Amino acid sequence: MKSFNVFEFYQFMQEHNVIISFKGEMSQAILVSIGDLLKEKLLCEDTDQRVVKKVFFIFIELAQNIYRYSSARSMLEHKQAGMGVLFIREDETHFTVFAGNVLTPEAAADITEQCATINRLGPEELKQRYKEQMRQPREGDEIGGGLGLISIVRKAGYPLDVYTTAISEIQSFLVLSVRIDKDEE
């Protein structure tokens, strides 16, 4: 068995200013627990309430994407739950929320294209796209029709960063991240 150096892992997280992280199955109970922990941590650090709400909203949206769409799945609370990783970095002027999970290469390419399209839109165009998506009928198991990604960009005021890493011919690892400024102007 390969050894694991916990201290090196701790140092890595310290050096990269990771304030909260989670890897595993995303369930409703886990999301609530981590969300409560996140809000408490940010409020204890005197983070502006509006910024706390933005970080929390984006964290939950990205976690729900993992829960619903990750191709790495397991049974949790008698339901299929997606598996992935979530973490938040804090820098002097902003937070960055990251989410990563396994998808098919086709699904990863689709999300990458959705993000590129959303990132090209200005604030008014995002608002209009959101309204249009709200009116669209959903197909089968489709839940939000891209509303979550649009909402994230609207809340953050920054584009989504997205990248994929090929794992195999049938799996890719997708990472989404977004910046949230600490200064509310």
Structural domain includes residue 1 = no
Q: How far is CA 32 from the centre of its chain?
A: 15
Structural domain includes residue 110 = yes
Q: How far is CA 85 from CA 102, 129, 138, in A?
A: 10, 29, 27
Structural domain includes residue 101 = yes
Residue 159 belongs to a domain with what CATH number? Answer: 3.30.565.10
Q: Are 15 and 79 in contact (CB under 8 A)?
A: no
pLDDT at 15: 96
Structural domain includes residue 94 = yes
Structural domain includes residue 142 = yes
Provide the token pair at 162.
């997205």
Q: Are 182 and 47 in contact (CB under 8 A)?
A: yes
Per residue of the chain (185 residues), give pLDDT as tens: 788 999 999 999 999 999 999 998 888 888 888 889 998 998 888 889 999 999 999 999 999 888 777 877 776 667 777 889 999 999 999 999 999 999 999 999 999 999 999 999 999 999 999 888 888 776 655 555 578 899 999 999 999 999 999 999 999 999 999 999 998 65
Structural domain includes residue 65 = yes
pLDDT at 141: 54
- Taking the model in full, what pTM does it have? 0.88
pLDDT at 135: 81
How many domains, in total, are found in the chain? 1
Tally helices (H) and strands (E) across the chain.
Answer: 6, 6
Range of the domain at 76: 6-181
Buried b (16+ CB within 10 A) or exposed e, 23-35: eebbbeebbeebe
pLDDT at 142: 54
